[in-house]
């Protein structure tokens, strides 16, 4: 039976329409896949923040033995210092409550492993930003500027780096950049490494070494414990402190940087600095 011209035309139009719809479907699928890829990227970026909010508290690695920055009071059990107040401000930014925080003790040696093991969300622990460490973690903007120096017993013949020789016994903390720095500055120098700064300071007071080296801000905290010791000489390195997070957690870095910017803009950073360190640095 012959088809009418009208029927043939209708058939052609229907086939064409089906092809157009199929094409649109493929384009939509491609668009959805592309959007899905972007959404997945966004989800990955926000996953760490979502996890923190779901948990309801921020897990922060801090020092327990570093006067002025993070020191645990054996009587009360409270940990206080510059780094602690900065951590509380970050908790307030992310969770709306500065007390929604759990502090976990880290040392210079354990802080990166604990961070990358997922035991903590971030490290706020006098941690110098270095290119080597950037291979393992992501850093915030600089939140404190320090410099490496020397702590000695008053009356010591060591008055600065120029007095340090390969025969000098230097004390330090395992995992700290100060160990590497002093070995580069004074090739062949003897360095005794301890688990933490308090152990190193105790060793200095026991006469096991001639000088203790680390960042000047930390050394001033030690000197404040015992008037028989002093920080000598000019700082011989730049030690910019950053807050470390797991690599790829850009949303956490963003939240931290926003917190630091707000603290500096509203005067809270200066107040925290003055409270723990002394006169705030000039802007």
Instruction: DSSP letter for 280, please.
Output: P
- Give the pLDDT of residue 59: 99
Query: What is the residue-averaged pLDDT of the chain?
Result: 87
User: For residues 78 and 71, what is the distance between their CA atoms, to the nearest angstrom?
Assistant: 8
Structure tokens at 9: 């035309």
Residue owning tokens 């203790």:
212
Please answer whether residues 224 and 69 qualify as being in contact, where contact means their C-beta atoms are separated by less than 8 angstroms.
no
Mean per-residue pLDDT, 47-59:
95
What's the CATH architecture for 148-237? 3-Layer(aba) Sandwich (3.40)
Percentage above 70 pLDDT, the chain: 83
- Give the pLDDT of residue 281: 72
- Give the pLDDT of residue 214: 96
Using pLDDT thresholds of 50, 70 and 90, give the confidence band for residue 46: confident
Using pLDDT thresholds of 50, 70 and 90, give the confidence band for residue 79: very high
Structure tokens at 249: 């957690």
What's the CATH architecture for 56-145+240-276? 3-Layer(aba) Sandwich (3.40)
Q: What are phi and psi of 259, to 5 degrees?
A: -60, -45
Please answer whether residues 123 and 63 qualify as being in contact, where contact means their C-beta atoms are separated by less than 8 angstroms.
no
Other CB atoms within 10 A of residue 242 CB: 23
- Give the pLDDT of residue 50: 94
- Kindly report, residue by residue over 214-256, the tens digit of the pLDDT: 999 999 999 998 999 999 999 999 999 999 999 999 999 999 9
Q: Which of the two residues, 280 and 181, has the higher pLDDT score?
A: 181
User: Is the predicted pLDDT of residue 4 greater than 90, yes or no?
Assistant: no
Q: What are phi and psi of 101, to 5 degrees?
A: -150, 145
- Give the pLDDT of residue 283: 64
Q: What are phi and psi of 53, to 5 degrees?
A: -65, -40
- Kindly report, residue by residue over 153-193, the tens digit of the pLDDT: 999 999 999 999 999 999 999 989 999 999 999 999 999 99
User: Is the predicted pLDDT of residue 37 greater than 80, yes or no?
Assistant: no
| Domain span(s) for CATH 3.40.190.10 in the chain | 56-145+240-276, 148-237
Mean per-residue pLDDT, 252-265:
98
Please answer whether residues 195 and 174 qualify as being in contact, where contact means their C-beta atoms are separated by less than 8 angstroms.
yes
- Give the pLDDT of residue 21: 43
- Give the pLDDT of residue 76: 95
- Give the pLDDT of residue 33: 37
Using pLDDT thresholds of 50, 70 and 90, give the confidence band for residue 282: low
pTM: 0.78
User: For residues 178 and 258, what is the distance between their CA atoms, to the nearest angstrom?
Assistant: 29
- Kindly report, residue by residue over 107-134, the tens digit of the pLDDT: 999 999 999 999 999 999 999 999 999 9
Using pLDDT thresholds of 50, 70 and 90, give the confidence band for residue 61: very high
User: For residues 200 and 211, what is the distance between their CA atoms, to the nearest angstrom?
Assistant: 10
């Amino acid at each position: 039976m012959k088809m009418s011209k009208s029927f043939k035309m209708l058939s052609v139009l229907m086939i064409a329409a089906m092809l157009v719809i199929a094409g649109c479907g493929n384009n939509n699928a491609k668009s959805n896949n592309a959007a899905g890829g972007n959404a997945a990227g966004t989800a990955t970026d926000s996953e760490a923040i979502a996890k923190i909010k779901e948990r309801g508290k921020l897990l922060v690695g801090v020092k327990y033995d570093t006067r002025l920055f993070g020191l645990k009071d054996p009587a009360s059990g409270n940990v206080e210092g510059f780094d602690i107040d900065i951590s509380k401000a970050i908790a307030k930014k992310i969770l709306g409550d500065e007390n929604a925080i759990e502090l976990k003790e880290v040392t210079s040696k354990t802080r990166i492993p604990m961070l990358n093991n997922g035991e903590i969300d971030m490290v706020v622990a006098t941690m110098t930003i270095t290119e080597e460490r950037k291979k393992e973690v992501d850093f915030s903007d600089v939140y404190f500027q320090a410099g490496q120096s020397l702590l000695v017993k008053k009356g010591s013949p060591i008055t600065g780096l120029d007095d340090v020789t390969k025969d000098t016994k230097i004390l330090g903390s395992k995992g700290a950049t100060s160990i590497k720095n002093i070995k580069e500055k004074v090739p062949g120098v003897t360095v005794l490494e301890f688990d933490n700064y308090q152990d190193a300071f105790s060793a200095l007071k026991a006469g096991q070494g001639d000088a203790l080296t680390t960042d000047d801000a930390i050394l001033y905290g030690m000197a404040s414990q015992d008037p028989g010791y002093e920080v000598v000489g000019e700082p011989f390195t730049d030690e910019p402190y950053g807050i470390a997070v797991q690599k790829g957690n850009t949303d956490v870095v963003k939240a931290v940087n926003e917190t630091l910017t707000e603290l500096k803009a509203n005067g809270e950073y200066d107040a925290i600095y003055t409270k723990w360190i002394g006169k705030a640095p000039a802007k």
